């Protein structure tokens, strides 16, 4: 990890104000990050944590295949002045029934990369939110939005196949996955669908690309959410 890059405190001044504005517009809550750092300089991991939904803010990828994927991506990072940049490489498909920890492992993987000092720009969305976000509406450039997700160096696409589909959503998913497939952009995908149902649910074009571009992790066990309730 490059300590200079990740330990640089945010100084007060016009530049810091502008930076805070930009971070706020991207949903980064600096105040939360700073508070959680107990007055210590805010690190890249702490900044990223502020963007991660509270439930997964301390997620640790503990599945061996997930840590292996993060290791591989981190090791392949292009050297840069502020630490290694995220490289092109394989994607990861995390499958399993509801509540088995798919989203937890996915955020854990992002946190593992950040903890290793990998400089990365990442976006996360559920498929249902993606559809809502890109639905044509006046004054919104959905093409631009799709392009920015398609080109983002690391994307978490959560709950693929869980949202209601239509020809329009199928085309959208195809364009997103195909761009990331062609450019070998690391993508974390979670799905409730068993592998043998990917084709029928997502279409052959998407399923075929996923087969080539992703390492697979299948989580099993009971629903962790219900375990918590019954233990309480």
Ligand X SMILES: Nc1ncnc2c1ncn2[C@@H]1O[C@H](COP(=O)(O)OP(=O)(O)O)[C@@H](O)[C@H]1O
Instruction: Rank residues 69 and 104 by Cβ distance to ligand X and give the closer one.
Output: 104
Task: Name the minimum Å distance from CB 218 to ligand X.
Answer: 11
Q: Where are the beta strands (DSSP E) in 31-163?
A: 91-95, 122-126, 154-158
Q: Which of helix, strand or coil describes residue 91?
A: strand
Site string for ligand X, 93-112 (x = CB under 6 A): ---x-xxxxxxx--------
Q: What is residue 89's three-state secondary structure?
A: coil
Task: Tell which one of 18, 55, 78, 88 touches ligand X (CB under 6 A).
Answer: 55
- Give the rounded distance of the alpha carbon of 94 from its chain centre: 12
Backbone angles phi, psi at 43, to 5 degrees: -90, 165
7, 88, 216, 224: which one binds ligand X (CB under 6 A):
224
Query: Cβ distance 153 to 182 under 8 Å?
Result: no
Position among 6, 43, 91, 103 found at the interface with Mg ion (CB under 5 A): 103
**Span near Mg ion by CB under 5 A; candidates 41-49, 59-67, 101-109, 216-224:** 101-109
Q: Give all strands (DSSP E) within 128-186, no chain letters.
A: 154-158
Strands (E) in the chain, as ranges, are: 91-95, 122-126, 154-158, 187-191, 214-218
- Closest distance of CB 13 from ligand X, Å: 38
Residue 191 touches Mg ion, criterion: CB under 5 A: no
**102 vs 180, beta carbon nearer Mg ion:** 102
Residue 164 Cβ vs Mg ion, minimum distance, rounded to whole Å: 17
For residues 218 and 190, is the Cβ–Cβ distance under 8 A? no
Interface residues with Mg ion (CB under 5 A) are 102-103
Contact residues toward ligand X (CB under 6 A) are 55, 62, 96, 98-104, 190, 224-225
């Amino acid at each position: 990890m490059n300590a200079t890059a990740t330990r640089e405190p945010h100084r007060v001044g016009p530049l810091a104000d502008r930076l805070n504005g930009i971070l706020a517009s991207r949903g980064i809550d600096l105040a939360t990050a700073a508070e959680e750092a107990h007055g210590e300089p805010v690190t890249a991991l702490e900044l990223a944590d502020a963007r991660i939904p509270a439930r997964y803010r301390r997620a640790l990828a503990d599945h061996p295949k997930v840590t292996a994927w993060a290791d591989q991506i981190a090791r392949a990072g292009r050297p840069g002045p502020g630490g290694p940049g995220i490289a092109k490489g394989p994607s990861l498909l995390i499958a399993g029934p509801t509540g088995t920890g798919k989203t937890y492992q996915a955020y854990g993987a992002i946190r593992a990369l950040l903890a290793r000092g990998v400089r990365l720009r990442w976006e996360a969305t559920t498929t249902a939110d993606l559809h809502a976000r890109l639905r044509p509406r006046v004054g919104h450039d959905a093409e631009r939005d799709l392009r920015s997700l398609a080109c983002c160096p690391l994307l978490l696409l959560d709950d693929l196949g869980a949202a209601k589909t239509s020809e329009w959503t199928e085309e959208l998913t195809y364009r997103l996955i195909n761009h990331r497939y062609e450019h070998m952009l690391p993508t974390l995908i979670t799905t409730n669908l068993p592998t043998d149902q990917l084709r029928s649910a997502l279409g052959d074009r998407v399923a075929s690309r996923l087969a080539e571009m992703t390492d697979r992790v299948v989580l099993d066990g009971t629903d962790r959410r219900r375990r918590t309730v019954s233990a309480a």
